[in-house]
Amino acid sequence: MVGVYHTKLKEIREYAKSENIPIMQEEGIDYLTTFIISHQIKSVLEIGTAIGYSAIMMALCYPKITITSIERDEKRYLEAVRNVKKFGLENRIQLLFRDALDVKISDKYDMIFIDAAKGQNTNFFKKFESNLNDHGFIITDNMYFHGYLQKDESEIKSKNLRALVRKIRDYHTFLANNTEFSTKIYQVGDGIAVSEKK
């Protein structure tokens, strides 16, 4: 399925690289799409569309899936709209140009994929956990935050970066102490957390 779209996908990856837009790396995407297929995930809420790459990959890997994806940056959102059209996936990918922390969503999903501002992960989790179907999954990317999480704080020179790393550490603690979910963190790509609703 993905094979026939090879050139168009490559164009998206190259655009992301040239514009410095962070998109999921190959290992992470492979993990995510395999997870979707093996758990027969039929609906996804994605926080952080960027230019639509991960949403398109998720839609291509499983024809039964529908995705709602939220992006607050207008330029990226518009590029995502163009990309989704290029793949003819408008009927399965709904894009919302909003700040995820302001949006009200009442639908329920089999999976919520958090891939937006890393310092807000706990807030995203708390805001959207009620949008999860029973036994659904919340997946969070960049749990190791480009390797910074394994570093000692004294090694991180920038004050802002140190604050961000602290917030991601707090998110690890929040997940570990959350009794309503069971979380496993996988050493895939930049670290992926899979939190299953009990």
Binding stretches for ligand SAM (CB under 6 A): 22-24, 48, 50, 53-54, 70-73, 76, 99-101, 115-117, 120
Provide φ and ψ at 190, rounded to 5°. -95, 20
Rounded least distance, CB 108 to ligand SAM, Å: 20
Q: Which is nearer to ligand SAM, 72 or 172 (CB)?
A: 72
Cα torsion 134, 145, 47, 2: sign: negative
| Half-sphere exposure at residue 110, Cβ-oriented, CA atoms within 13 angstroms | 13
Rounded least distance, CB 198 to ligand SAM, Å: 26
Q: Which is nearer to ligand SAM, 47 or 155 (CB)?
A: 47
Looking at 19-52, list the stretches that DSSP marks H as alpha helix, in order from N- to C-terminal side: 26-38
Regarding beta strands 132-140 and 192-197, do their DSSP bridges make them parallel or antiparallel, or are they unpaired?
antiparallel
Please give the torsion angle defined by the CA atoms of residues 145, 149, 150 and 155, in that order, rounded to the nearest 10 degrees: 110
Q: Which is nearer to ligand SAM, 76 or 172 (CB)?
A: 76
Rounded least distance, CB 176 to ligand SAM, Å: 23
Rounded least distance, CB 137 to ligand SAM, Å: 16
Q: Which is nearer to ligand SAM, 53 or 87 (CB)?
A: 53
